[in-house]
Amino acid sequence: MRILIAEDEARIARFVERGLKANGYASTVVEDGISALDLASSGDFDLLILDVGLPRMDGFQVLKALRAMDVQIPILMVTARTGVDDTVQGLEGGANDYIAKPFRFEELLARVKLRAREATNGAGSVDSDVRELGDLRLDLRTRIATFRTDDAGEGAGSPGAERSVELSSREFTMARVFLENPNQVLTRDLLLSKVWGYDYDGASNVVDVYIGYLRGKIGARRLVTVRGAGYKMVDPSA
């Protein structure tokens, strides 16, 4: 899915771009409304994340021009304005969705995924909504991890029983990164980048803290510490 980001605040644009890249989306950033209009009408993009407060041509003007040209690219409006009138103006003007600043990246990502599912509905195969490694399954829609408990007493219930746990937003994102890179050593810096996105102190121990949280939910043997390098997720039964 090719995403055009129209955002003139460089810090926010980098934050969104990095987060989308970490989740497998290709993106291009433009900083003004004229450029957004030109690229969005080119047919080269599948979604437009459109900030309202753009220079040269604001987001509402870009939206109006695109719909007047019968360009049907899905548009997610982003704005610091929180008034109901602005929301109504955007949606009635042809925007597909609306999100107010400040926002959590997870909320933006959920809306992007919704647009992606709508775009691919009936158009063939779609990426699986489940990530797996051994008996561990992560449902990307519900953030629920399912696995079998083991003889070491990890997890509730008798050994071999199936258990499901709901992960927090950060735990889910971290688990997904590991499951999409099975048996690979991931450094703390890489995990900071993919899970927290931007502006996080590299000296922080937040990665180690969340590794502990995740081990407590899915079992310590699934997350292996590689001394001096980082962590990797493995299938403990392999």
Average pLDDT over residues 21-42: 93
| Those residues with Cβ within 8 angstroms of residue 178's Cβ, 6 or more apart along the chain or in another chain | 186, 223, 231, 232, 233
238 or 4: which leads in pLDDT: 4
Q: What is the pLDDT of residues 139-179, one digit of tens each?
A: 877 788 999 876 444 544 455 678 899 888 789 889 998 99
The Cα 190–Cα 216 span in angstroms is 22
Q: What is the pLDDT of residues 114-127, one digit of tens each?
A: 877 766 554 433 34
Average pLDDT over residues 207-229: 93
Q: What percent of the chain has pLDDT over 70?
A: 83
Q: Is the pLDDT of residue 87 over 90?
A: no
Q: What percent of the chain has pLDDT over 90?
A: 44
Residue 167 in tokens: 């992960």
pLDDT score for 149: 78
What string of DSSP letters covers the chain? -EEEEE-S-HHHHHHHHHHHHHTT-EEEEE-SHHHHHHHHTTT--SEEEEESS-SSS-HHHHHHHHHHTT----EEEEES---HHHHHHHHHTT-SEEEESS--HHHHHHHHHHHHHHHHTTSS----SEEEETTEEEETTTTEEEEE--TT--SSSSTT-EEEEEPPHHHHHHHHHHHTSTT--B-HHHHIIIII-SS--TT--HHHHHHHHHHHHH-GGGEEEETTTEEEE--TT-
Set out the domains of the chain in order of their start, with CATH numbers: 2-120 (3.40.50.2300), 130-233 (1.10.10.10)
Beginning with the edge strand found earlier in the chain, give each strand of the sheet holding 162-166 in spatial order: 130-133, 136-139, 144-148, 162-166
Least confident of 23-37, 45-59, 97-111: 97-111
pLDDT score for 152: 44
Q: What is the pLDDT of residues 10-25, one digit of tens each?
A: 999 999 999 998 888 8
Residue 18 in tokens: 């990095």
Average pLDDT over residues 40-69: 92
The Cα 231–Cα 193 span in angstroms is 15
Q: pTM of whole model > 0.75?
A: no
pLDDT score for 79: 81
pLDDT score for 30: 97
pLDDT score for 14: 93
Contact 48, 76 (CB under 8 A): yes
pLDDT score for 51: 93
Quickly state the pLDDT bin for 95 (edges 50, 70, 90): confident
* DSSP β-ladder status, 144-148 and 162-166: antiparallel
Contact 150, 221 (CB under 8 A): yes
Average pLDDT over residues 94-119: 82
Average pLDDT over residues 125-131: 60
For the four alpha carbons of 170, 171, 172 and 177, in that order, the dihedral sign comes to positive
pLDDT score for 201: 57
pLDDT score for 189: 85
